[in-house]
Amino acid sequence: MNNKVAVYRKEHFNAAHRLFNPSWDDAMNFSVFGKCANPNFHGHNYDLIIQVTGSVDERTGYVMDMKELSDIIKEHVIDVFDHKNLNVDVPYFQNLIPTAENICIVIFNILREKLDSKFEVKVRLYETERNFVEYPV
């Protein structure tokens, strides 16, 4: 058995969003997205769990320094998403509906690029305690 370990770091951010497909009219948007289509937005406390899988470094006993992982998440995700309106303030959602699924994929793509390619990366995003998503699978 190899010595690969998955390490996890939990962070969070608070944001407003609205689910809306601009190629549809309002009736279609309300039919598909219900109250999530409210034009004045609603919001969530998003909890984010980043999984990084790799070998344990014998000198440190770490897969990677969790402080360093937390700093990367804070700089590239939390500072960009926290206390923002995802539809209006966050360029990644200029042409992408900010569902939990899409937010999760966007965060994965951001972190995948910032983390060493020797690591596997996976992202779990809680929109509420009862609705959450994971990518990739």
Q: Does 35 bind a copy of itself (CB under 8 A)?
A: yes
Total length of the chain? 137
Which token pair is 15?
């944001």
Closest distance to a copy of itself from the beta carbon of 92 (Å)? 12
- What is the spatial distance between Cα 46 and Cα 124, in angstroms, rounded to a whole number? 10
Closest distance to a copy of itself from the beta carbon of 75 (Å)? 16
Q: Show Cβ contacts of residue 113 under 8 Å, excluding neighbours closer than 6 positions.
A: none
Closest distance to a copy of itself from the beta carbon of 27 (Å)? 15
Closer by beta carbon to a copy of itself, 12 or else 76: 12
Residue 108 and residue 135 in contact, taking contact as beta carbons nearer than 8 Å: yes
Query: Which residues are bridge partners to 12 per DSSP?
Result: 47
Active site members: 36, 83, 127
Interface ranges with a copy of itself (CB under 8 A) = 1-12, 14-17, 19, 21, 23, 32-36, 38, 40-45, 53, 56, 59-63, 65-67, 82-85, 88-89, 96-102, 104-105, 128-137
